[in-house]
Copies of this chain bind each other. A is one copy, B any other.
């Protein structure tokens, strides 16, 4: 196997990158200025040395605690619970939320052997007890696993006295009723908002 095939093989492991796309990327890198490959290689090499999990919220960071956890201008009473570290990035880009985050590290999925004990739920309870958090927003995907996890957390968090809410689910903005699936439509009916 030559160097090009090995590179294609490595790229194929990335999510959403099939053999054809991997080939196109590899040839692009070959055709491009060699400094590009060098820079990309350096970043990859240093990635895991530089980036770690934040010991407070569990998201990826170069400093510990992360920039969000150590930002005094953010609302410390408001906690947004997400499945994965990349969800923090998505929500931050929306610039809607001004509290802090908590990364669960997954969702409850009994069929895949993922129970609540594998998620950062103990740490979540500790943060709520210690840090005077008044509201928890569950920003979990509207899937079976997301629903299961949200229900479980709601039950667990009842005794702590915090307000627990979940992101609204319904028709996407700019979407069309005609293309909405049955479940989304049903949710948007149940979650209808008085005008």
Task: Give the interface of A toward B (CB within 8 A).
Answer: 2-4, 6-7, 10-11, 13-17, 21, 23-25, 27-30, 32, 34, 36-48, 50-51, 60-62, 84-86, 89
Copies of this polypeptide in the complex: 2
Tell which of B21, B30, B47, B61 touches A51, judged by Cβ atoms closer than 8 Å.
Answer: B30
- Residue contacts A-B, CB under 8 angstroms, 9 given: A3-B43, A3-B51, A10-B39, A10-B40, A30-B60, A37-B44, A40-B41, A41-B41, A41-B44
A4 touches B60 (CB 8 A): yes
Q: Is the interface of A mostly helix, strand, loop or mixed?
A: helix
CB distance from A5 to the nearest CB of B (A): 10
B62 touches A27 (CB 8 A): no
For residue A30, which residues in chain B have a CB less than 8 angstroms away from its CB?
47-48, 51, 60, 85
For residue A39, which residues in chain B have a CB less than 8 angstroms away from its CB?
10
